[in-house]
A = this chain, B = another copy of it.
Amino acid sequence: MRMAELSAGSGVPVATVKYYLREGLLPPGERTSPNQARYSAAHVQRLRLIKALTEVGGLPLASVGAVLAAVDGDETPHETMGVVQQELAGAPPKVSDEAAAWASGLLHDLARRHGWKWHEPENRTVGNLVAALATAKELGHEKLAERLDEYFELAVRVAELDVEVVTGLTSFDKIIEAGLVATVLGDRIFTGLRHLAQEHVSRDVLRRAPGR
């Protein structure tokens, strides 16, 4: 298909498509003349993916580039998903050393009890978790952390479901893309369901809560 059809099919304006081509986010089409190129269904899908990552996932374009480079690289599926996750996580915010040490201790205990290992301090997922837990402590809301084991057990069940959804697919490229979609959209979907459920579950409880 031509550029105009590529734009219409993906819902991405022509100027934006050209920008993605220049930035290398979208691979070039097949040249048919000095001024024209032919694009395929894979180009439409790639544009939809970029749109999902930026508009729904809220990722900055630099992160989208890094994520797509990992997807296009030749690591194993497990390594690729690891790189993708680190890019999605972003750099952890600064917290006080004391609170960070406390949060880090909590996570180490949790990991030890479950026989898990991870590599620190490069692991941004761990870094962000430590920062969030440390911030809760600094605010005097350690109760969230006291129930960490229960949250963790539910998170494992969600992850098992995620992995089932993704690995039901049969080609490598589909698995990596589905992993990416499951991570970015899956986070938004689960968080949305959780908020709806909070609203419902808390309705009666909060009505009985102490007034001002």
Contact = CB atoms under 8 A, between A and B. Distances in A.
B211 A195 contact: no
Given A185-B132, A189-B132, A206 B167 contact: yes
Given A158-B197, A167-B206, A201-B156, A132 B192 contact: yes
A7 interface: no
Interface in A7-58: 11, 45, 48-49, 51-52, 55-56
- How many A residues touch the partner, as a band? 35 or more
Interface string A170-187: 111101011101110111
A196 B147 contact: no
Contact of A136 (B82, B141, B181, B206): B181
Contact of A93 (B49, B56, B116, B154): B56
Contacts of A169: 143
A70 interface: no
Contacts of A67: none
Contact of A128 (B81, B181, B188): B188
Contacts of A101: none
Copies in the complex: 2
A125 B157 CA distance: 23
Contact of A154 (B48, B154, B200, B205): B154
Given A48-B139, A126-B192, A154-B158, 19 more contacts: A81-B199, A128-B192, A129-B188, A129-B189, A139-B177, A139-B181, A141-B181, A141-B185, A147-B164, A152-B197, A154-B154, A154-B161, A155-B194, A155-B196, A156-B197, A159-B201, A162-B201, A167-B206, A172-B211
Interface of A: 11, 45, 48-49, 51-52, 55-56, 74, 76-78, 81-82, 85, 89, 93-94, 96, 116, 118, 125-126, 128-129, 131-133, 135-136, 138-141, 143-144, 147-148, 150-152, 154-173, 175, 177-179, 181-183, 185-203, 205-207, 209-212
